[in-house]
Amino acid sequence: MIVDIAVPHDENLVKVEKEKQIKYLDLSHEIVDMWNVDSVIIVPIVVSAHGLIAKSLDQHLKRLTLDGWIKGLMQKAVLLDTARIVRRFLSLES
C-alpha cells in the first residue's frame, strides 16, 4: 500500500488527488514485480489548505481501516497550520 498525503490549494483538490494516483503507478508495478505481491493499492490523502476534502476521502480512509472521525482531526491540523503560516507571514510584514 502506498499512501501519499498532500495539502494543495482549494482549486487543485481533485487534480492533485488524480496526479498522486498517476504518479505512483510505475512504482506500484515495480513493487508487484520485485516483491512478488498480487497488487499494490495507492491511497491519496488530500485535504486542501482551507480544510476542504474530496468526496473520495471516505473510501481512502476505509482502505486504511480508519474511521470517519479522523477527517475532522486532519482538517483541524491543516487549518491550524495554515493559520500559523499566515500569522508568521503577517508578523514579518509589520
Tell me the per-residue pLDDT of 38-92, one tens digit each, with 9 for 90 and over.
Answer: 999 999 999 999 999 999 999 999 999 998 899 999 999 999 999 999 999 999 8
pTM for the model stands at 0.84
Residue with cell 481501516: 65
**DSSP letter string, 48-64:** -TTS-B-TTHHHHHHHT
For the chain, the structural domain boundaries read 2-93
Task: State residue 52 phi and psi, 5-degree precision.
Answer: -75, 145
